[in-house]
Structure 1
Amino acid sequence: MTAIVILALVALFVGLRLYSVLGERTGHEQPILKPADPDNRVEQPKVAAAREAGAITDNGDLAYLPTAGPGVRQILSADPSFDVARFLEGASAAYRMILEAYWKGELDTIRPHTDSHVYDSFAGAVKQREADGQTLDNRLVAIDPPVIVEAGMEQGAAEVTVRFEADIAAVTRNKDGEVVAGSMSDAVQTRERWTFRRDLKSRDPNWLLIETDEEE
């Protein structure tokens, strides 16, 4: 009888130790970070803060404004392979690449990634700069996570407008290399909206920049 009591106490002790380590888990808990509905997920502090700022989040990062949500879902319905996070990553890379190419006057780099009228705008500005004997010595200091502000389908093509906020050190030099405007030590805050378009009927996976606007 004494041995049975001792074994019972040992079992109780082991059970209490396991409870303190594992907690009350039944084996049937729902996953925390994989909700079925992307707009109905468990809110971590970063996610909650983003929602308070008026934005919906995707994978924990700022992704799109609530007003852009229906358009994003419309694109997903037409193209289930569309990935918001991957798109924004590519959009950021395109933003940096196109800006730096424009600053250097490398129009051949810009051409494949823009439609004709956007390319013509960049090309006209570069040619005017060259005619004035000026060069740009700009540097992208920092860029905030981009946010989709508009999205939707237009005649079988997906169109997504992204807001970019960046700090840019902007310097204009004359033909003698002298600074005529700007400062490398004083970055300028910029906010722009770039609209990208992709024909979903095409096998080409690339997006074209079709419009740029400054945002006040």
Structure 2
Amino acid sequence: MVEIILLAMVAVFVGLRLFSVLGQRTGHEQEPRMPRPVEAPPTVQQRPQPVPDLAPAAEEEPDGLVLPAASAGIRKIASADSSFDVNEFLIGAQAAYRMILEAFWKGDRDDLEHLVSDEVMESFNAAIDAREAEGHELDNKLIMIDRTQIEMAEYDSGTARITLRFDADIAGVTRDREGTVIAGSLSDAVETHDIWTFARNVRDADPNWKLIETDEAS
């Protein structure tokens, strides 16, 4: 019995020693490698390709800014000049209206010569000469353009002509040689209504239009 007990005690002692060595980590063991999941290839997002128009949309005239009487002429001009755009023309006409008025008020003949025809320049020169002879100076200001409307358009033998009505508010005074105000007021704008006709030879390389006729709207 004594021998059996001693053998049992030896077996327990050996088992405890093995557990103390194998059951604890020393810090030098390699971590078990987990299988790496297979990654799906990244999805490439493609932008939707625009579908080309089979036919360009017809350009629409600005609502209310082209009178019916001018529609046929506008179409003829657009057919003869592929670069013509009625919206851009209206914007340019308003800019020209302002530049021509300001040049005339200042008596700037050089600027006017680039913007108006010879016939209109003669009329402007006569008015500027008469004003200077009296010693008058204009101190005018274009407050705003209320409306610009194409009233007539025509195309003949390469020349395009477009007549517009400008409704604008202008404030201004006339001064004498001493600078004294003799007419007008800068605090009160006056409604003005002008009929101007611009022309251009569409066969010329120069894209600019010139003022060829002026009148007051009835």
Deviations 1:61-93, CA, capped at 9 Å, x for gaps: 643111110110111111122100111111111
SS in 1 for 2:135: coil
Deviations 1:99-136, CA, capped at 9 Å, x for gaps: 00110111111101111110111111111100001000
SS in 2 for 1:81: coil
Tell me if 1:172 matches 2:174. yes
In structure 1, the partner of 2:10 is: none
TM-score of the pair, normalised by structure 1: 0.72
Aligned length: 164
* 8 Å Cα contact 2:147-2:168 kept in structure 1: no
Tell me if 1:133 matches 2:126. no
In structure 2, the partner of 1:95 is: 97
CA RMSD of aligned residues (A): 1.7
Match of 1:122 among 121, 124, 142: 124
Unmatched 5+ stretches in structure 1: 1-34, 40-56
Deviations 1:7-53, CA, capped at 9 Å, x for gaps: xxxxxxxxxxxxxxxxxxxxxxxxxxxx94455xxxxxxxxxxxxxx
Task: Show the 5 A alignment for 1:142-161.
Answer: 142-161=144-163
Output the amino acid matched with 1:186: D
Which protein is richer in helix relative to its size?
1
Tell me if 1:75 matches 2:73. no
In structure 2, the partner of 1:44 is: none
In structure 2, the partner of 1:163 is: 165
Unmatched 5+ stretches in structure 2: 1-55
Over the matched positions of the two proteins, sequence identity in percent amounts to 52
Change (3 A) 1:38 1:83: closer
Deviations 1:111-168, CA, capped at 9 Å, x for gaps: 0111111011111111110000100010111112311110011221010111111000
Partners of 1:183 and 1:88 lie apart in 2 by: 30
Tell me if 1:198 matches 2:200. yes
Once superposed, which parts of structure 1, at least 4 consecutive aligned residues long, lie more than 3 Å away? Answer: 35-39
SS in 1 for 2:177: coil
SS in 2 for 1:202: coil
Output the amino acid matched with 1:167: D
* 8 Å Cα contact 2:145-2:166 kept in structure 1: yes
* 8 Å Cα contact 1:193-1:214 kept in structure 2: yes
* 8 Å Cα contact 2:66-2:150 kept in structure 1: yes
Partners of 2:142 and 2:59 lie apart in 1 by: 33
Partners of 2:178 and 2:210 lie apart in 1 by: 36
Output the amino acid matched with 2:142: L
Partners of 2:128 and 2:176 lie apart in 1 by: 14
